[in-house]
Structures are given as structure tokens and as C-alpha cells.
Chain A
Amino acid sequence: ARGADGGDGASVWQHVFLLPEYLKDDSKKMKSGLVFVKLANPCSGEGTIYLFNMCLPQLFEIKVFKEKNHSWFINESVQSGGLLHFATPVDPLFLLLHYLIKADKESFQGKFQPLDQVVMDDMFPDCILLLKLPELEKLLQHVTEEKEVDKKKYYKYSKEKTLKWLGKKVNQTMAALKTNKVNVSARVQSTAFFSGGQVSSDKDEDYVRYAHGLISDYIPKQLSDDLSKYLKLPEPPASVRNPPSKKAKLSDEPVMAKEDYTKFNSKDFKTVKKNSKMTAAQKALAKVDKSGMKSIDSFFGTKHVKKK
């Protein structure tokens, strides 16, 4: 396995990716067709990089796991940053919803429009690729009212239908959280700790809140608030949502050129020292997540930033 690092003496930037296995099988059929494109993030509206498979076609989002002070050894080479990129399939309806809501708010208030007039974007012209995705008509039924005139479909954003659709998304996300045994609250975690792994299953509200947090990363803030009401979640004490600008970004983090090559992850080091003096119970408490509301960022090593 030597020599696969592409290193011929020159500095080569190596990106570490996890990609769905089936892309490998599809690759037999295609010579080109995988392309990184910048599209409007449905939560923040900011440009975000997605991977588009022209052949299926299918859209993938790219999330980056990064922790401070990490690097890779890749065969006989070193790669700074220690980033790990995940490409996972994304429901394109979240991205379409961004445009449907925008159109409803701005130009076409209350009017039915053909999809190709809704999904237009000077900033991110590649958004038209979304129109190539399969079964759009079926997807759009979840979030729009539709009309057919002369065999052409016209759509109008429906908040009611959208909330119902999002409610189902929350449900299936909750089920996955339970299957994956993700600790969703302080109470669940410490209970599990003290009673030897017995996670109480009656804290459904914690799961709903957590799932709502995950889904909220794909919808605008206003809709997230509406969804919270729809799910009858009690108001969080203060706004604990992440500002949209804190989204996991694609490998653009500048790597500091420090002279000290031996700069280790000092945080890890401190944690180790501190933990060694803590009792088991203290450790369990230290791990407790106090925000009560998680977002995708928590999976990718970016810090939670709370407003105020």
C-alpha cells in the first residue's frame, strides 16, 4: 500500500472522505458526473457545497468533522487539519422548500407558479440542477398545493402541509436516535450512568427536542419556530439555537502555520488531567449537555455557540 499517497515530493493536499459505497458501483457506468456544486443552504441561505451525482441523479451534502489540533498520517505522508468529510444523501425537498418559501414571501405571494420559475437563483445558478432530480412531483406534494393547467403543474407553498411533513421527519429521526442510542438529555445520561445502563424510555420530549434540533438545520429559523409550536415543545429557556454561520464548512479552515510542530491537542491533555481527579459521578455530570437542543454541528466537533 505504499506510494498511494500521490506524493512525488511536492506538497499535495489530501482530503479524507467517506462516500457511500454504491458510488463505487455506479462508477463503472460513468466517466464523469460527480461534481461539487455550491447551492443555497436551506437553513441559512448561505452558499454551501454539495456533491451532485448527475447519473442517478442524486444530491449529497458534505459535512466535515474537525477537531482542533489534529492531523493525518496517510501512508508515507502527513496532512494537516485532520479533517474527515462525510458525503451523505440529502432530501432535495429541503432545498426546494427554501425557494418555495422565498417565492411565497417575495414575488409570488399566494400565486401558483411553475417550479422552474421558483427555483431560480442569480447567486447560485446551479440550483437548476435540483430540477433534474427524480420524483420531484411526488416530493412537492408534501409541501405545496398544486394545480394543473394544460398538463403543466403549478405550485404554491403550503405551511400546513409542510409542518405535517416536518412532523413526520421528526418522528423518523427520533426512531433513529433511539436505535443509535444517542444520549439526548442530561437526565437520560445520568440515569443511565447510575442505574447501570437502564435508559428510561419515557423521556420522549427529549427525543422530540433533539430531533427538532437536527431537522432545524435544514429549514429557515421561522419555520423551525413554527415546527416547535406544531410539535408542542415547551419554549426553550433562552434561544439555544446555533447561529447559521456556524454550520460545518467544507475544509476552508485556515491551518495555522505554527512554528512549534509539537503543538499537541492541549484540550485533550487538560481533560485527561482533570478527569483523573474527578469521581465517576462528576465525570458523568461534566459530560451532560446543558443546551437541551442539539444540532448537527454537535456531530462534527464544532462548538455550540449560544446566543447571549
Chain B
Amino acid sequence: MENSYEETIDKRRVHLRPDTLRDPAPASLHLLPCEVPVNRPTPVGRFFTPAIRMGRDGLEASFRGRSLRGEEVVVPPGFVGYVVTEEKAEVLMGKQDDHERQEQELLEPPEALERDCDRFMGATASFSSFTVWGLESIPGPDAKLRGALSWPSLAAAIHAQVPED
């Protein structure tokens, strides 16, 4: 399975290219309350987004004959949303010439972590908000997602250094 970079990490390191975080194109994301068991291009802009309406209590749309209610969700403060994909080997080849790579090795400590068989991931898009959809009713303030989005501020407290005596 292509999603299993966990497996890869046992053998090869997986890098996230920092330069791809700089300014990737903004993306439009929708979190749907249904399973679509494929990963591939699909004409979202032709069949889904044009039918989105502003209803009485939020956004309204339909997908495969079911009625959806949605709302805009903003990513937690201090965070940026990214869509991250693995770089393909052939793309990678042309990315750095030998000279550049050597230069980098000089700049970084020997344990700079890049090894021949390593894999690379990069951000292809970014977002600061997305639309979350519920089946027939808006996800609302009690949605599990809302709890999850408060995680960064709780995590900050858990992991902050404790005050000295």
C-alpha cells in the first residue's frame, strides 16, 4: 500500500523537504462523511463544488444522492495545513546535481541523515481552512473534529517546560 510510509521508516528514512513548505499553491479541501476507497483525480469542480449552496444553517450540497450539510473550519492558530505527497523517483533524480549535494554535505553534520535509498516527501499544496461535511446535518460544535482541532493548544501545555521552583 502506498500510504504505508511507516513501513518504509524502518528501513529508510523519509524526509520532508523543508523548501516545499514555503509557498505551495492554496488548495481547496472537503472532508466528506463517507468512504470513497480510491485515491485519484476526480472532477470535483464539475460535479461537487458548483452545487454547494448557502442554506439556513450552513452549507448544503449533495454527493451520490445524499444530502450533506457543511461548515468552514479554520486550522488552529499557529498552524498551516499542507497536502504532502511522496516525490516520485524520476522527479527526484533531476532535483539535485552532485555538486549541490556535495555542497550540502559540507554544510551539514555527517549525520545529516540523507542516504542513497532514502525517500522524500514534499508539500504540494497548503490550506488555512477547509470544509467539513456531515450527513444530513452540520457537524457542529460537538463534532469530534472540533475536539481534535483543540489538540495543539493542549499539547502545547502538556509539553511546555515546567516552571522552576
Please report A residues at the B interface, Cβ cutoff 8 Å. Answer: 1-7, 9-24, 26-28, 30-38, 47, 49, 51, 54, 61, 63, 65, 67-82, 84, 86, 88-91, 139, 142, 165, 168-169, 172-173, 175-177, 179-180, 182, 214-215, 218, 249-252, 254-258, 261-265, 268-269, 272, 287, 296, 298-301
Contacts and interface: CB of A to CB of B under 8 A. Distances in A.
B43 to A, nearest CB: 6
B44 A75 contact: yes
Contacts of A7: 40-41
Contact of A180 (B16, B17, B137, B154): B154
A77 B75 contact: no
A59 to B, nearest CB: 10
Contacts, number: 313
B22 A28 contact: yes
Interface in B18-53: 18-22, 24-45, 48
Nearest to B84: A15
A23 B21 contact: yes
Contact of A74 (B6, B27, B33, B112): B27
Nearest to A263: B35
A67 B40 CA distance: 21
Contacts of A49: 6, 9
Given A19-B79, A182-B150, 6 more contacts: A6-B83, A11-B40, A17-B84, A18-B79, A61-B155, A73-B42
Contacts of B76: 18
B150 A71 contact: no
Contacts of B28: 1, 73-75
A75 B125 contact: yes
Nearest to B163: A168
Contacts of A214: 154, 158
B152 interface: yes
Contacts of B80: 18-21, 24
Which 9 A-B pairs have CB atoms at the shortest separation, nearest pair first? Answer: A176-B157, A27-B18, A4-B25, A168-B162, A7-B41, A4-B125, A73-B30, A65-B148, A88-B155
* Candidate in A88, A176, A249 with the most chain B CB atoms within 10 angstroms: A88
Contact of B39 (A69, A76, A77, A215): A77
Contact of B159 (A33, A35, A89, A168): A89
Interface residues of B, number: 88
Contact of B34 (A5, A168, A250, A262): A262
A24 B45 CA distance: 29
B6 A251 contact: yes
Interface string B135-147: 1110000101101
A74 B75 contact: no
Contacts of A142: 162
25 contacts: A4-B24, A4-B27, A12-B40, A32-B113, A36-B14, A37-B9, A73-B28, A77-B40, A78-B40, A80-B35, A81-B3, A82-B32, A88-B152, A89-B155, A89-B159, A90-B159, A139-B161, A142-B162, A169-B158, A172-B160, A173-B157, A180-B153, A256-B35, A258-B35, A264-B33
Contacts of A6: 83, 85, 124-125
B114 interface: yes
Interface in B70-125: 75-76, 78-86, 104, 108, 112-114, 121, 123-125
A165 B123 CA distance: 38
Contacts of B27: 1, 4-5, 74-75
B22 A21 contact: no
A186 B33 CA distance: 28
Contact of A265 (B123, B135, B160): B135
Contact of A31 (B19, B45, B125): B19
